[in-house]
Structures are given as structure tokens and as C-alpha cells.
Amino acid sequence: MNVAVIGGGAAGFFSAIHVKENFPEARVVIFEKSKKVLSKVKISGGGRCNVTNGCTSISELSKAYPRGEKKLKKAFRTFNTRHTMEWFEKKNVPLVIQEDQCVFPVSQNSQSIIDCFLKETQKSNIKIKTGMGVKSIMPIKNKIQIEFLKAEHPTEIFDKIIVATGGQPKRRGLEWLEQLGHEIEDPVPSLFTFNMPEENITELMGIVVENAAASIQGTKLNADGPLLITHWGMSGPAILKLSAFGARILNNMNYSFHIQVNWLNIKNHDLVMDELQKIIQAHGKKILANYRPYLLPERLWHYLLNKIGLPLDKKWEEIGKKGMNKIINILTHDIYAVKGKTTFKEEFVTCGGIHLSSIDFNTMQSKVCKNIYFAGEILDIDGITGGYNFQAAWTTAFIAAKLKN
């Protein structure tokens, strides 16, 4: 059996290795259009490679995917985070689960993952051909012909093909698959941070609020978690979750909108009022600057007081009802103008790709072209930050590699 894997990234390598495990006699070739394989793995997780997430509950795990949740819920019964961790450990890549449930190699170096894949492909005699961009694929009887962009290597015929070309920033990168009859979801960016060129909160860059809540005005989008203030705007898990779940909505808004921040992640205003009244009773003589509610970062607290026009040297007992309402409002309904986005840590994640209705998720085989399978981010599946995108790649690649009809 002759098998081609198109794409030399995470899903491509994982599927090629598993094809060889399932069919030791098969000839397996990985075709990569660029000169380098696994380049996204190299830079992922800040060069440490967040291979998966420590979450082992399948229903919990699938909720981390704004697109693909239902299909993955089923697929995770076949191959999930537990299987991923076992596989890497077996291949002598020890892993560590961080407090935030992100899973990294113990080496804290993505090269460990790359070396593991290269060693496995070498051991299994999987050929890797770089600089081999694909122009088109065409079913011919029961086989598939690949037409390459390289003039000196025009075509080759295979029994089975796994397409694992990753997320495509533009629709034209998916046209060769659309021509075969696959439905395409327009690609738009996911997992990005928010730019706030007109807001001076950027002067507080580096401050993290561990448990904030954020929502986009005029939509139902909301998320919570750590929020990081950067020199260009806001980032951190709360913002990245918003960008993932709101990928299409925010694209339609042309990345120009207002974000509402609840610095306390407390929705009940009466609870906040009770807390402030306790401060007034117990520490009324203290000045606002020196007594921070909810242990907010000092620079942020001072910034918020300035924003609502309350003097830092005013005593807590002197704020009055008006001052109290101003503080409650800024802590729970602080508003900022967002204009533009920035890619998160060089990690380009797209929402969009091959529409899931074009794929049989039991096998990852195309419903419109027999013997063509899909794995990874080429599919309209994407997750929030925390190792979820890699897990979707491992799961879909594992299923595709069974090459079931």
C-alpha cells in the first residue's frame, strides 16, 4: 500500500507514524511544501511545546473547542489526552502537568517532540520530502493522483492520502480541496490579543489580574480567567478565550469594538457594596491609595481611582454614596475601546477550513472522495489556548491513520 501524507506538521507526522504502526508493510511518504518540517511545533508554547492538556474528562475537554466540540466529543473516546501522554511517555519523552493543566515535555523544549517524531519516522522508514507543494489531487479509479508544483516531479499515484496541511490564512489555500467537492468554511484568525491604541491602561503593562471577567459589548461573548495588560492592550487566557469563541463575530466587527472588564469576576453588585462598606467601617481613616479592595494590584487600583476622578489621598470614610457607586462601577463595568488584534506568541491559529459535514468523523475520510483522509487544523476545528489545538491534531491524526473506509 502506497500512502501519502500532505503536510509535515504535527498532524502529518503523527498520522504518518501511526499509519506505519497499523500497516508495517505500507510505503509512507510525507510531503511538505516548505523547506522545514515541524516549524510550528518548534515555536509553539514559546518554544516549549504545550503538547496537550491535563484534563481527562471528555465532556470538559470538548468544551475547549469553539468549533468541533460535538464531533471531538465522540473522537476523544478513541484517542484523548490520556492516550497522548501515554504515547509520548512510551516514546521516552517524559511530560509534566503544570498547575494550569498545560502539559509540556519535562525538558521544557519543543525540540524533544521534534526529535521524537524524526526518530520514529527514521525507524519506520517513512520518507520525508520537503519543498514539495501540492497543486491538486485527483481520484483515478480506486487511487489518487497528486500533482506537484515542482516541474521535475509532476505527478505521483497513491492508494491513500492524508491531508494535514494545517490552518490556511486565506481561502485560496483551500481551493484545491474545494474543487473536489469539499465544503469550505472561510478561514479567519482565532486566538489573538486585543490592541488598544487609544487607551492609556497600556502604561500598566505587565500587570496580571488572576481572576477577571471580560465581555464584548453588543454580543453575548464573555469569558473569565487571568487577564494580562500588555504594552499594546490586553492578553491572557480570558482575552484569548474571547478571541477564540468570538473569532467570526470579531472578524465581522473588523476588530473594532468595546470590551467590558469586571476586575473582580463578581457579578453581584450587592456583594461588592458589602465588601466596600466593611472597609469603610474597619479602615475608614485610611486613604484610598493605601487600602486596596480585593487586593487588586496597586498600580491598577491607583489607575482606576484616577480614571473615576477620586483623589488617592481621600479617606475611605469620605467617599460618600456617589464615590461608592463610582468604585463599584469601575471594578465591575470598566470599558475599553479595542481597535485591532495581535497574533498570540507567533502562534497563528485559524477558525475555518474543511467543513465538518464533508468528513466522516468515525474514519476522518472525506465523504466526497474515497481514500482521502483529513487530520489537524485543515479542518474547521480549533481550541482555546492550553494544548487543545495539538490534542485535536493528535486525535484526528490517530483516527485518520487507521485508513478505514
Rg of the Cα trace of the chain? 25
Q: What is the pLDDT of residues 158-202, one digit of tens each?
A: 999 999 999 999 999 999 999 999 999 999 999 999 999 999 999
Per residue in 50-75, pLDDT tens? 999 999 999 999 999 999 999 999 99
For the purposes of burial, counting CB atoms within 10 Å of the CB of 220, is it exposed (0-12), middle (13-18) or buried (19 or more)? exposed
C-alpha cell at 176: 484545491
249-261: per-residue pLDDT in tens?
Answer: 999 999 999 999 9
Which CATH number belongs to the domain containing residue 208 in this structure? 2.40.30.10
Quick one: 49 and 170 in the same domain? Answer: yes
Inside any domain, residue 230: yes
- pLDDT, residue 330, reads 98
Residue in this structure with the C-alpha cell 519523552, named with its chain if needed: 93
The answer to whether residues 190 and 243 touch, using CB atoms and an 8 Å cutoff, is yes
> How many structural domains comprise the chain?
2
Percent of the chain with pLDDT over 90: 96
Whether residue 344 is predicted with pLDDT greater than 80 in this model: the reply is no
Residue 154 CB partners (closer than 8 Å, separation 6+): 147, 148
Do 338 and 350 belong together in one domain? Answer: no
What is the predicted pLDDT for the residue at 346? Answer: 62
Has residue 7 been placed in a domain? Answer: yes
Domain that holds residue 26: 2-188+346-400
The b/e string for 234-258 (b: 16+ C-beta within 10 A; e otherwise) is bbbbbbbbbbbbbbbbbbeeebebe
In a domain, 405, yes or no: no
* Shared domain check, 70 and 59: yes
Q: Which of 303, 327, 343 is the last residue of a domain?
A: 343
**Around Cβ 158, how many Cβ atoms within 10 Å?**
22
Residues 234 and 378 both lie in one domain:
no
Give me the helix-helix angle, 10-22 and 111-123, nearest 10°. Answer: 30
Residue 334 and residue 134: Cα distance in Å, rounded? 50
User: Cell digits for 83?
Assistant: 492516550
Per the CB < 8 A criterion, the answer to whether 155 and 148 are in contact is yes
- Position 343 scores a pLDDT of 84
Residues 35 and 89 reside in one and the same domain: yes
CATH of the domain at 157: 3.50.50.60
Cβ within 8 Å of residue 66, ≥6 positions away: 190, 244, 245, 247, 351, 382, 383, 384
Percent of the chain past pLDDT 70, that is, above it, reads 99
Give the confidence band of 347 by pLDDT, cuts at 50, 70, 90.
low
- Mean of all residue pLDDT scores within the chain: 96
Q: Which three cell numbers stand for residue 53?
A: 492538556
233 in any annotated domain = yes
Q: Let me know whether 176 and 40 are in one domain.
A: yes
Helix, strand, coil abundance in the chain, percent, nearest 5: 35, 30, 35
Rounded to whole angstroms, how far apart are CA atoms 43 and 41?
A: 6
